[in-house]
């Protein structure tokens, strides 16, 4: 749920260009954003429904289903990240448990 202040300050601004503070991210979520920007952003625009190499992840958890048709749960999302999916590589060797928790916390803010 966006606050009125959040709407006003975010008005007309591209979220991708906004700072963590402007986005209202907590410490964990902003760590997750860093992980995302390193490993994911190249294929998944965070604040767009239009994909790049992979689907855009805007409102990922606000929709009932993931692009694959699986329900939008942490388990399903983490499985795709750890094991890979289709053309998406697996990240089990690059991302540790803490980074995964931070990443998922950030994905919930999209």
> Which residues here bind ligand HEC, judged by CB under 6 A?
39-40, 42-44, 53-55, 66-68, 70, 76-77, 80-81, 85-89, 91, 103
Tell me the H-state helices in the chain: 4-9, 27-39, 74-83, 97-107
Angle at 38 between CA 42 and CA 15, to 5 degrees: 70
Please state the closest distance from residue 36 (CB atom) to ligand HEC, in A: 6
Please state the closest distance from residue 4 (CB atom) to ligand HEC, in A: 30
Of residues 8 and 97, the one with the C-beta less far from ligand HEC: 97
């Amino acid at each position: 749920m966006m606050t009125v202040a959040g709407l006003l300050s975010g008005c007309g601004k591209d979220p991708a260009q906004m700072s963590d503070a402007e986005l209202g991210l907590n410490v964990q979520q902003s760590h997750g954003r860093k992980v995302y920007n390193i490993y994911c952003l190249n294929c998944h625009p965070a604040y767009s429904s239009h994909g790049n190499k992979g689907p855009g992840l805007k409102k990922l958890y606000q929709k009932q289903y993931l692009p694959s048709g699986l329900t939008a749960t942490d388990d399903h999302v983490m499985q795709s990240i750890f094991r890979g999916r289709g053309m998406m590589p697996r990240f089990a060797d690059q991302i540790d448990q803490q980074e995964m928790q931070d990443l998922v916390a950030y994905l919930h803010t999209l």
